[in-house]
Amino acid sequence: MNINEPDLILYGRQDCHLCDEAEQLLQQLASPPHYAKVDIDGQLALLRTYGPRIPVLRARASSAELQWPFDAAGLQRWLAQWQPHSA
């Protein structure tokens, strides 16, 4: 994996208050992961896959997905499952 690539992808769309909430949860973590936002509008394959489920977080390393609803504790548990642990 390229070191410049984000750890997570946040699938959503503009003017989506739930997507904004999910992003705020990411930003409020003690050590926020590197993530990229992807707007699914105008991308038919992404609309079909994620449209009714947004916001959805996808881990690049494992392809694991976390779909809404989730809270800070749920996000932290999910992240702990795939983030490498420091020694």
Chain centroid to CA 10: how far? 3
> Quick one: which of 30, 44, 33 has its CA closest to 10?
33
Q: What's the domain range around 20?
A: 8-82
Is residue 2 situated within a structural domain?
Answer: no
What's the number of domains the chain is made of?
A: 1
Least confident piece of the model among 17-21, 45-49, 53-57, 82-86: 82-86
57-74, pLDDT tens digit by residue? 999 988 999 999 999 999
Angstrom distances, CA of residue 30 to CA of 33, 72, 76: 9, 11, 10
Q: Is residue 78 part of a domain?
A: yes
Position 2 scores a pLDDT of 57
Strand-pair partners of 65? 58
Q: What is the CATH number of the domain that holds 73?
A: 3.40.30.10
Distance CA 2, CA 47 (A): 26
Where residue 26 falls among pLDDT bands split at 50, 70, 90?
very high
Supply 66's token pair. Answer: 């976390």
Look at residue 65 and tell me if it is in a domain: yes
